Structure 1
Amino acid sequence: MQKLAIQGGKPSRDISSNPWPKWPVWGKEEETALIEVLNSGVWSYNGPKEVEFNKLFAEYTGTKYSLCTVNGTITMQLALEALGIGVGDEVIVPGLTWQATAATVIDVNATPILVDVLEDTWCIDPAAIEKAITPKTKAIIPVHLYGAFADMDAIMDIAKKHNLYVIEDCAHKHGGEWKGKKAGSIGDVGSFSYQLSKHLTAGEGGSMTTNNADLAEKLDALRNVGRRPEGDSLIGADKGIGDYGDDGNFIQSGNFRITEFQAAILIEGLKRLPEQNATRDANGEYLNELLKELPGISPLKRDERETKKAYFNFAFRYDKSEFKNLPIEKFRAALEAEIGIIVDACYEPLNNCSLYVPHTKPARHKLNETYWEGVNPKRFSLPVCERIFEKESVCLHHKVLMGTKADMDLIVSAIQKIYNQSDELMS
């Protein structure tokens, strides 16, 4: 029996001779586009590349409007502002997500209400949403997490029943589909991130999508210092919808625009995205079928209503009882040593997250004692989130899914190798 890599044996994959596919992916097309922007002298502010990408991404997501911003955090903040959410309002957020999902709610002086997730998808639990609704509730932010899709049928039914807004956090779901509808086209606003790790990236950046003309105009103004839509910045919108000020300005705001360099990269990346998503989907489906056969390993559920998959990282659940009670930290370390890529836990639950700490900023967030207590994340109980983070989650970068079926076989054989020698790791 081959010795485990973490114990000095030969790894299952020698990345010096057999590296994983690179990320980000770029080529001559990006180089040409960036030089074109450089030579044009138009480096920002509703330039032709940004206008083109907005049009392409709206078409891709099946929405009427798409608008770029500086990142996928500001997208949610501006969505909340455009929907009129603020002081005295509550927004329901899953407890298992990147901290920005909740932090943006605080940034508009509303209160995030953290609820638990489903153990088989790690996405927000519709039953927990129902229980959390109060007369102050104004919106739900479902997060399509890692490879899974939030149950948008149940969420939209709840929203309709209680007259709530829905902001889809699609930072992990560019190109995913629910019953034939793209992520970001189902709720009132879709929020996308183009941060470096995302499967459509320009290093940083974000997009807001919507089918509502009035919302689109507000979002466009909010990202552009409050100005009314200018030129072609809002493709297809009827100008002059709503009245948020005199002709000189539309609404108070700041500068959240991206650059033409980012837009140029996004145009080329969007051309590759469908094929990349298809490759990751095929490999993810193949890998999940193999993982089902391993003791102690459970793939995340793929809902039959999810008609197109889009992976941000590849995640699965681990049961240490099948591995001689090998702690998950040791399992992750052993797998990382075998396959030569970082093996991590999921996000920290927001009720005990080192990055989500509103009480470190009293000058900004302590509006009054009631609000101060309301934004204390530790007041929420999230047992499923905590169990997933502490005992079950295993996450790999999505670039592992951009290889071959032989690469998927290698991951499975590495897990099997650890299983066979878990007693040795315990000792």
Structure 2
Amino acid sequence: MAHSLAILGGAQVSDRQWPRWPQPGPRALKSLEDVLHSGRWTISCAYQGRPSYEEQFADAFAEYCGTEFCVPTSTGSASLSIALEACGVGAFDEVVVPGLSWVASASAVLGINAIPVLVDVDPATYCVDPDAVAAAITERTRAITVVHAYSSIADLTALTEIARRHGLPLIEDCAHAHGARYRGQAVGSIGAAGAFSMQGTKLLTAGEGGAVVTNDPEVADRADHLRSDGRRRSRAPLNVGDMELLETGHMMGSNACLSEFHAAVLLDQLDLIDGQNMRRRESAAYLDQRLARFGCVGQVTTEGTTERTYYRYATRLPKEILEIVPVATVIDALTAELGFPVLSAYRPLNDNPLHRPDTRRRFAANPEYLAQVNPKRFDLPVTKDIHESVVTFGHEVLLAPIEAMEEIALAFEKVTAHIGEIAP
């Protein structure tokens, strides 16, 4: 018997070449060559008579985010740990963490010997539920982290009020949200600090990299020390051959500096991101409308979002489909039809193989601490439901021509219409 679905040998809906990511801009090669011959490949090398690419990027990204300060870092995970510690979080402190996120949201907290307290998310936005945050706060809570997940901005009005009421810093994890704005303000500029990732899949990327943004000079100063072995950038005039990083003795740190190569690429990417984000929004709006015809419900963003960005496009499958097959089966069928990877939403952090503190001896040194960081002690029913009902794909797909979005819609239509062919 002939089958319709590609996963069973039928013809694919699409055989197009989908956009690849990352995509270099026009000045990337020239800037990288300039770094190569500059005599300075990182901020910890001697000053060469001109502003470093890192300093140029820090200034440009602070302006982009509307903040007074930007401290570049080597990774997004480092930016989150540094932001937390710069805001006063330390050993045995509790930090509220959304249960739906990449594992780094929890491991960054563990990295400063604090305790991630996992809370559930809103079923429509997939961002942390303010009521769950409020219920999780104890006398040991020292910070609230919020992830602007996939294409949504969290309810920053409610969350900043909770943070203010309890005297806690709100740390915005903006790894998915470069360029997003809430009530006219860039994400990252609203809390005590914003942490960004520039890892290879991100909207603004140099393969790796990160940044902490803030309007608080003390938080910025501590972040500067924490990411450069207890040093900070000099504010005095420099001569060629001088070291730009000063050994102040103010605060011990570690090495999490951004290289000049990464900073040069990020400056190039920063020129492109607004135009790319606009194209992604147009494609996502088309898909939301088309997929709704088949019962899919796209991820929504919080009221007050004034500029939305798309790290991954996400949509919830209709219940009648999931009563026939699990989400993993639909994902495999869609991937076969389209030729690019379709994935589920993040696995909940209370049941994620990447979030297992018991596999690290550093955490086992204190049995009480190990029990407190055991993720299985938390219940995340909404996050679990999202993982079992939502499909996602990468933002680069949204950069394809608008007619390609119709191919995606046709693939959803085909798979849902023939779902019985792959039923167990």
Identify the TM-score tier after normalising by the shorter chain.
Answer: over 0.9
* C-alpha deviation, 1:83, in angstroms: 1.6
What is the distance in 2 between the residues matched to 1:51 and 1:27?
Answer: 20
**Secondary structure of the corresponding residue to residue 283 of structure 1:** helix
- 1:51-94 CA-to-partner distances (Å, cap 9, x unmatched) read 11101000000001011111000111111211221123111001
Structure 1 273/232 Cα, relative in aligned 2: closer, same or farther at 3 Å? farther
What is the distance in 1 between the residues matched to 2:303 and 2:171?
Answer: 23
Q: Are the counterparts in 1 of residues 230 and 247 from structure 2 also a CA contact under 8 Å?
A: no
Aligned CA-pair RMSD:
1.8
What is the distance in 2 between the residues matched to 1:266 and 1:27?
Answer: 10
**Secondary structure of the corresponding residue to residue 197 of structure 1:** coil
What's the counterpart of residue 275 of structure 2? 275
- 1:351-391 CA-to-partner distances (Å, cap 9, x unmatched) read 111111001113x11353322210000111111111211x2
Q: Are the counterparts in 2 of residues 350 and 356 from structure 1 also a CA contact under 8 Å?
A: yes
**Aligned letter for 1:381?**
D
Residue from 119, 138, 141 that aligns with 1:137: 141
* C-alpha deviation, 1:329, in angstroms: 1.3
What is the distance in 1 between the residues matched to 2:334 and 2:264?
Answer: 37
What is the distance in 1 between the residues matched to 2:364 and 2:8?
Answer: 51
Say if 2:94 is the partner of 1:90: yes
What's the counterpart of residue 394 of structure 2? 397
Structure 1 324/254 Cα, relative in aligned 2: closer, same or farther at 3 Å? closer
**Secondary structure of the corresponding residue to residue 198 of structure 1:** coil
What's the counterpart of residue 192 of structure 1? 196
* C-alpha deviation, 1:323, in angstroms: 6.2
**Aligned letter for 2:298?**
P
Say if 2:343 is the partner of 1:339: no
Q: Name which of structure 1's ranges 54-63 and 77-86 shifts more when overlaid on structure 2.
A: 77-86
What's the counterpart of residue 369 of structure 2? 371
Say if 2:410 is the partner of 1:406: no
Say if 2:306 is the partner of 1:302: no
- 1:83-113 CA-to-partner distances (Å, cap 9, x unmatched) read 2211231110011111111111112121110
**Aligned letter for 2:144?**
I
* C-alpha deviation, 1:392, in angstroms: 0.6
1:131-280 matches, within 5 Å, as 131-231=135-235, 248-280=248-280
What is the distance in 1 between the residues matched to 2:233 and 2:403?
Answer: 50
**Aligned letter for 1:336?**
T
What is the distance in 1 between the residues matched to 2:227 and 2:159?
Answer: 28
With structure 2 as the length reference, what TM-score do the two structures score? 0.93
Q: Name which of structure 1's ranges 39-48 and 172-181 shifts more when overlaid on structure 2.
A: 39-48
What is the distance in 1 between the residues matched to 2:379 and 2:402?
Answer: 41
Say if 2:422 is the partner of 1:425: yes
**Secondary structure of the corresponding residue to residue 203 of structure 2:** coil
**Aligned letter for 1:30?**
A
What is the distance in 2 between the residues matched to 1:270 and 1:21?
Answer: 19
What's the counterpart of residue 243 of structure 1? none
Structure 1: unaligned runs, 5 residues or longer: 234-245
**Aligned letter for 1:159?**
A
What is the distance in 1 between the residues matched to 2:25 and 2:188?
Answer: 28
With structure 1 as the length reference, what TM-score do the two structures score? 0.92
1:350-365 matches, within 5 Å, as 350-362=349-361, 364-365=362-363
**Aligned letter for 1:77?**
S
What is the distance in 1 between the residues matched to 2:232 and 2:151?
Answer: 38
What's the counterpart of residue 289 of structure 1? 289
Q: Are the counterparts in 1 of residues 154 and 302 from structure 2 also a CA contact under 8 Å?
A: no
Tell me the matched-pair count: 409
What's the counterpart of residue 22 of structure 1? 20
* C-alpha deviation, 1:122, in angstroms: 1.0
Say if 2:13 is the partner of 1:9: no
* C-alpha deviation, 1:276, in angstroms: 0.4
Structure 1 255/324 Cα, relative in aligned 2: closer, same or farther at 3 Å? closer
Q: Are the counterparts in 2 of residues 286 and 408 from structure 1 also a CA contact under 8 Å?
A: yes
Q: Are the counterparts in 2 of residues 13 and 410 from structure 1 also a CA contact under 8 Å?
A: yes
Q: Indicate the percent of aligned positions where both proteins have the same amino acid.
A: 39
**Aligned letter for 1:160?**
R
